[in-house]
């Protein structure tokens, strides 16, 4: 069968994902900058509201994946708190300044997360020598790799994803993510992908009057809007996957 993991940027998005039939949540905040670690209040309420597994993104800030010692200790502390709160998995990873894997500190994150599963996130998609990088990630003990095949959209990185599935075998599970929607998802399924990652989100306007014209946001997200997972989008995707996998 398949697993549809929804990248949810709020409690409400996570609830919508579960309503739509998602199998798992990757919980984050600030999705419009690639996601950052959610607040502990967000994690607690999401775990309280959901019955499906919740994996938590551990990324202390936007930007690169090269972290100072203080940021690294923050990540370790965040992982420990997530374990105590009842999360089922951790999503993270650390690079060196040259873009290669920081094996020592990534391995430390993996061990800190145990017995939770560990997903190495899409930092992989900007690493040099992807096949060597993949071997290094497996060597750290990661359970999952989330990747778009080093392209903006997973469907465009399909050839690399196919190679990684073949190399990884039973040692690591590939999660295809990046520009996935219900229109393109079966093209990835036909390559042997069984785990999929999407946000299924839309921009929702809630506040319709700005009385002073003052803005607190960048141009990445329109003023007075939120990004939120749409339950119907997830449901449509789940229906397509069920139809495909039930025929196999």
Residue 207's pLDDT is 67
The whole-number pLDDT of residue 202 equals 84
Q: How far is CA 17 from CA 30, 38, 116, 187, in A?
A: 17, 17, 22, 22
What does the pLDDT read at residue 227?
84
Contact 202, 186 (CB under 8 A): no
What does the block give as tokens for 65? Answer: 């994946």
Beta-carbon neighbour count of residue 129 at 10 Å? 11
**Residue 3 pLDDT:** 97
pLDDT along the chain (248 residues), means of 10: 96 97 97 94 98 98 94 98 98 97 98 98 97 98 98 96 96 96 90 94 73 62 75 94 90
Beta 225-229 vs 201-205: how paired, if at all?
antiparallel
pTM of the model: 0.91
Residue 26's nearest CA partner among 220, 189, 195 is: 195
DSSP letter string, the chain: --EEEEEESSHHHHHHHHHHT-SEEEE-B-GGGT-BPPPHHHHHHHHHH--S-EEEE--SSSS-S---HHHHHHHHHHHHHHHHHT-SEEEE--B-TTSSB-HHHHHHHHHHHTTSEEEE-GGGGG-SSHHHHHHHHHHTT-SEEEE-SSSSSGGGGHHHHHHHHHHHTTTSEEEEESS--TTTHHHHHTTT--EEEE--EEEEE-----SS----S-TTS-TTEEEEE-HHHHHHHHHHHHHHHHH-
């Amino acid at each position: 069968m398949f697993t549809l993991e929804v990248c949810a940027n709020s409690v409400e998005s996570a609830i919508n994902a579960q309503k739509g039939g998602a199998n798992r949540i990757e919980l984050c905040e600030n999705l419009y900058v690639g996601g950052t670690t959610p607040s502990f209040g967000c994690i607690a309420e999401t775990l309280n509201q959901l019955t499906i597994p919740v994996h938590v993104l551990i990324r202390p800030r936007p930007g690169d994946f090269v972290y100072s010692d203080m940021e690294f200790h923050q990540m370790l502390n965040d992982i420990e708190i997530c374990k105590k709160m009842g999360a089922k998995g951790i999503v993270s990873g650390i690079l060196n300044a040259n873009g290669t894997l920081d094996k020592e500190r990534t391995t430390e994150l993996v061990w800190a997360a145990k017995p939770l599963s560990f997903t190495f996130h899409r930092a992989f998609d900007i690493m040099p020598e992807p096949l060597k990088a993949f071997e290094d990630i497996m060597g750290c003990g990661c359970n999952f790799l989330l990747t778009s095949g080093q392209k903006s959209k997973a469907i465009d990185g399909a050839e690399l994803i196919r190679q990684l599935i073949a190399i990884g075998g039973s040692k690591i599970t590939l999660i295809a993510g990046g520009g996935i929607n219900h229109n393109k998802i079966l093209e990835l399924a036909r390559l042997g992908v069984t785990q999929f990652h999407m946000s299924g989100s839309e921009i929702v306007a809630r506040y319709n009057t700005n009385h002073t014209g003052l803005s607190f946001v960048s141009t990445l997200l329109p003023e007075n809007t939120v990004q939120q997972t749409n339950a119907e989008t997830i449901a449509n995707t789940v229906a397509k996957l069920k139809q495909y996998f039930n025929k196999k």
